[in-house]
């Protein structure tokens, strides 16, 4: 094969690869767009409530128990997000919603919201990527049985309106966050926290709090147990 013929073949191969890549990207873009779950196109999913302007990105993570989910207007949920109500698909969970997500919320890529009894997320809550929120944990009190085989314990979770949950945070059963609480990335949150504070750490504790008279400040050491009743 001559050098000229080899160059022509190489150029044709490169052009074919570029064309194939463009076709693949276009096809994937079409799949992503048409695979989204919205109030106008919920597909086979039957939510308790799916508000106007809601969008759940494609690909979706695990999604079941939709009849016991309420998702408020304008909430945007990223790709690979898991939303579950109940232990397994097809269970009867009673007359009340198990997972409530308010209006105007954002839930980032790869996050999990796993509800068994009650998880309530207020309006305009922002949840960064890879956050895990659950109201159920395994018990470990029986030393003769594997922890994974021991009965779970449920405690309701409440996240107040306007909160920000940083990347990689873990919100455990029994957590109750007031309004406009910021959770630092990577924190492990359990217990009760008041309105307008910054929490962080493992376990999470209050780092700063807001007082209408004095503004933002670090709480005094003796006040920490009063402000944040964690891991009780």
pLDDT digits (tens, 9 = 90+) for 130-165: 999 999 998 888 898 998 888 899 999 999 999 999
CA angle 76, 186, 218 (to 5 degrees): 105
Q: Residue 219 has what pLDDT?
A: 81
Question: Global pTM?
Answer: 0.85
Identify the bridge partners of residue 61 per DSSP, sorted by sequence position: none
Specify the pLDDT at position 11.
Answer: 63
- The domain covering 36-227 belongs, at the CATH homologous superfamily level, to Hexapeptide repeat proteins (2.160.10.10)
Interstrand relation of 76-77 and 106-107 (parallel, antiparallel or unpaired): parallel
User: Catalytic residues, which ones?
Assistant: 145
User: Residue 22 pLDDT more than 80?
Assistant: no
Judged against a pLDDT cut of 80, whether residue 42 lies above it is answered with: yes
Question: What's the gap between Cα 148 and its chain centre?
Answer: 23
Ordered by start, the domain boundaries in the chain are 1-35, 36-227
pLDDT of residue 185: 97
Q: Are 178 and 196 in contact (CB under 8 A)?
A: yes
Beta strands 170-171 and 188-189 are parallel
pLDDT value for 12: 62
| Rounded Cα–Cα distance for residues 102 and 38 (Å) | 15
Query: Over the chain, what is the mean pLDDT?
Result: 88
Cα–Cα distances (Å) from 70 to 47, 49, 79, in that order, read: 7, 4, 19
Element (H, E) at 153: strand 152-154
Distance of CA 212 to the CA centre of its chain: 31
């Amino acid at each position: 094969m001559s050098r000229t013929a080899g160059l022509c073949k190489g150029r044709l191969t490169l052009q074919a690869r570029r064309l194939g890549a463009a076709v693949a990207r276009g096809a994937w873009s079409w799949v992503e767009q048409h695979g989204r779950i919205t109030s106008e196109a919920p597909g086979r999913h039957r939510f308790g409530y799916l508000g106007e302007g809601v969008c759940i990105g494609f690909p979706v993570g695990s999604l079941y128990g939709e009849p016991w989910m309420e998702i408020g207007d304008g909430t945007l949920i990223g790709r690979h997000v898991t939303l579950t109500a109940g232990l397994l698909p097809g269970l009867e969970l009673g007359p009340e919603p198990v997972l409530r997500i308010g209006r105007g919320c954002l839930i980032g890529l790869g996050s999990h919201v796993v509800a068994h009894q009650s998880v309530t997320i207020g309006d305009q809550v922002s949840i960064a990527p890879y956050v895990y929120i659950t109201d159920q944990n395994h018990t470990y009190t029986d030393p003769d049985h594997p922890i994974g085989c021991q009965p779970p314990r449920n405690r309701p979770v409440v996240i107040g309106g306007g909160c920000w949950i940083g990347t990689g945070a873990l919100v455990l059963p029994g957590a109750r966050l007031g309004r406009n609480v910021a959770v630092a990335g990577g924190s492990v949150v359990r217990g009760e926290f008041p309105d307008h504070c910054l929490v962080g750490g493992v376990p999470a504790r209050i780092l700063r709090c807001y007082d209408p008279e004095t503004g933002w400040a670090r709480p005094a050491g003796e006040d920490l147990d009063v402000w944040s009743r964690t891991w009780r």
